[in-house]
């Protein structure tokens, strides 16, 4: 009885460890693969910054978010890294009313000089978080035929799940 319990503990510990290591190798491989797929050399900064975007898939990051998490990263290097990621179809810029520059990971299909980020964004006025909203945005607004449309930005603003006062109103304190 005692012996069995001990074996059980050892096995679960090994499995847990194994999963953690597997996960890390898998993620690094994925990060490097993405850089290669988008014709970028693997540098330490690019690997770290891209890891952050991949960990926060669907969520926009500001320069400040990245500077706070990546050590020894100067602003110019970060600026250049973000610009080259955007140019090569890895991240897209989001324009909301926060006035901050925000970027999020692109869905598959974006590439060098062509982006297909036809999705909306939700900006929370409470916590300032911006997320990518899944689904293509279709509109029937009539732009004069002689005008050339380059990109459409749809930003929905309001309160997220955590900030919406309606969500906490009925909870007992």
Which positions touch Zn ion (CB under 5 A)?
Answer: 92, 104, 106, 110, 115, 117, 124, 126-127, 132, 160, 163
> In this complex, which beta carbon is closest to Zn ion, that of residue 22 or of residue 167?
167
What whole-number distance in Å separates Cα of residue 131 and Cα of residue 123? 7
> With 0-12 CB in 10 A as exposed, 13-18 as middle and 19+ as buried, what is 145?
exposed
> In this complex, which beta carbon is closest to Zn ion, that of residue 96 or of residue 117?
117
Residues 92, 103: contact at Cβ < 8 Å? yes
> In this complex, which beta carbon is closest to Zn ion, that of residue 20 or of residue 127?
127
Give the shortest CB-130-to-Zn ion separation in angstroms. 8
Give the shortest CB-163-to-Zn ion separation in angstroms. 3
**What's the token pair of residue 82?**
């973000």
> In this complex, which beta carbon is closest to Zn ion, that of residue 24 or of residue 57?
57
Give the shortest CB-116-to-Zn ion separation in angstroms. 6
């Amino acid at each position: 009885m005692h012996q069995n319990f001990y074996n059980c503990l050892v096995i679960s510990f090994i499995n847990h460890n194994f999963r953690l290591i597997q996960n890390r190798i898998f993620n690094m491989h994925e990060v490097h693969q993405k850089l290669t797929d988008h014709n970028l050399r693997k540098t330490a900064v690019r690997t770290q910054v891209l890891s952050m975007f991949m960990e926060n898939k669907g969520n926009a990051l500001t320069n400040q978010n990245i500077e706070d998490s990546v050590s020894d990263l100067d602003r110019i290097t970060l600026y250049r890294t973000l610009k080259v990621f955007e140019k090569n179809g890895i991240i897209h810029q989001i324009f909301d009313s926060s006035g901050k520059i925000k970027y999020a990971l692109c869905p598959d299909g974006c590439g060098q000089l062509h982006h297909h980020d036809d999705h909306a964004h939700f900006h929370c006025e409470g916590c300032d978080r911006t997320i990518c909203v899944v689904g293509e945005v279709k509109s029937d607004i009539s732009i004069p035929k002689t005008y050339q449309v380059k990109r459409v930005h749809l930003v929905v603003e309001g309160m997220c799940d955590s900030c919406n006062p309606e969500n906490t109103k009925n909870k007992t304190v």
